[in-house]
Amino acid sequence: MSEDRPAGRLLLVPNTLDHGHEPVPIESVLARGVLEQAAALHHWVAEDARSARAFLKRVGAVTPLAAPLQDIAIAELPRARKGSRDGVAPAQWTLLLQPALQGHDLGLLSEAGLPAVADPGAALVAAAHAAGVPVLPLAGPSALLLALAASGLNGQSFAFVGYLPQEAAARERRLRELEALSQRQQQTQLFIETPYRNTAMVAALLAALQPSTRLAISCGLTLPQGWSRCRSIADWRRAPPTMPDRLPAVFALQAA
């Protein structure tokens, strides 16, 4: 970083939650100010350059981009490799941060929702802090927090535990562990699953959890067909939900 040129910022730019589905109007999900800041950027890091270009095309339909799309630089997050603590050599993160280290603002974009939340971009944010690059998160949708807000479960104490084991016995053990932890700490436990396994996850939940435990399911958030429901396991057993196999879902449980 040049001593007479301060570092640019790393902007965490939120994305819509419609990845892989019929797009919703982007301005119905992201604020105008966020779209304007995204449109002003010449440098980006994203999970996938092609989908990032599609995002910028949607942004440009609302507010003009600062440069033609083909002139905007989009670098992709590196894939993990064996032999280093986070799977990626430190020099790769430094290379991605070069535009910011040279004084340019740099955008970080996830495939959906907020960058660095249940997202590989967190490692780039950590590298930015280590390099002295200011980090600026922009407001936008997070499926996890939207699901928590819609659940009616404890929003004062909660934990996101990612994906659960796929093997049936291990998954059942993990569900019982989470239920016991929730009961002990009165804490909401949030987790996700690959959409085509949604039905199997619901079946496992209804089989493993206590009747009084409350289970919230949020599916397709921000999409026209999206929904959120929270019921006791006993009530879910009486009327199990029909789960789509292509819409992402967030599951949350709280033991009585």
Using alpha carbons only, how large is the chain's radius of gyration in Å? 20
Q: What is the mean pLDDT of the chain?
A: 93
**d(Cα 162, Cα 198) in Å, to the nearest integer?**
14
> Hey, what are 164's tokens?
């659960």
- Of 94, 113, 137, which residue is a domain's last? 137
**For the chain, how many structural domains are there in total?**
2
> Hey, what are 232's tokens?
């006791």
In sequence order, the 6+-apart residues with CB closer than 8 A to the CB of 156 are none
Residue 183 has pLDDT above 80, yes or no: yes
25 within a domain of the structure (yes/no): yes
**d(Cα 125, Cα 136) in Å, to the nearest integer?**
10
3 within a domain of the structure (yes/no): no
Q: How confident is the model at residue 179 (pLDDT cuts 50, 70, 90)?
A: very high
Residue 192 has pLDDT above 70, yes or no: yes
* CATH assignment at residue 119: 3.40.1010.10
Residue 226 has pLDDT above 70, yes or no: yes
Q: How confident is the model at residue 180 (pLDDT cuts 50, 70, 90)?
A: very high
Q: How many helices (H) and strands (E) does the chain have?
A: 9, 10
Q: Estimate the share of the chain in helix, then strand, then coil, as percent rounded to the nearest 5.
A: 35, 20, 45
Q: Specify the residue for token string 């436990």.
A: 189
Indicate whether 86 and 194 sit together in one domain. Answer: no
Residue 82 has pLDDT above 70, yes or no: no
What is the side-by-side strand order in the sheet with 158-163? 158-163, 188-193, 249-254, 214-219, 227-232
* CATH assignment at residue 186: 3.30.950.10
Segment 57-80 shows an average pLDDT of 94
Q: How confident is the model at residue 85 (pLDDT cuts 50, 70, 90)?
A: very low
- Parallel, antiparallel or unpaired: strands 227-232 and 214-219: antiparallel
Indicate whether 24 and 119 sit together in one domain. Answer: yes
> Which range of residues forms the domain containing residue 185?
143-254
Task: From residue 243, give the alpha-carbon distance in Å to each of 200, 237, 238, 251.
Answer: 9, 14, 15, 12
pLDDT of residue 3: 55
Q: How confident is the model at residue 86 (pLDDT cuts 50, 70, 90)?
A: low
Indicate whether 125 and 162 sit together in one domain. Answer: no
Indicate whether 15 and 127 sit together in one domain. Answer: yes
Q: What string of DSSP letters covers 87-155? A: SS-HHHHHHHTHHHHTT--EEEE-SSSSTTSSSTTHHHHHHHHHHT--EEEPP---HHHHHHHHH-S-S
pTM for the structure as a whole: 0.88
Q: How confident is the model at residue 124 (pLDDT cuts 50, 70, 90)?
A: very high
pLDDT of residue 20: 81
Q: Which of 49-53, 80-84, 177-181 has the lowest mean pLDDT?
A: 80-84
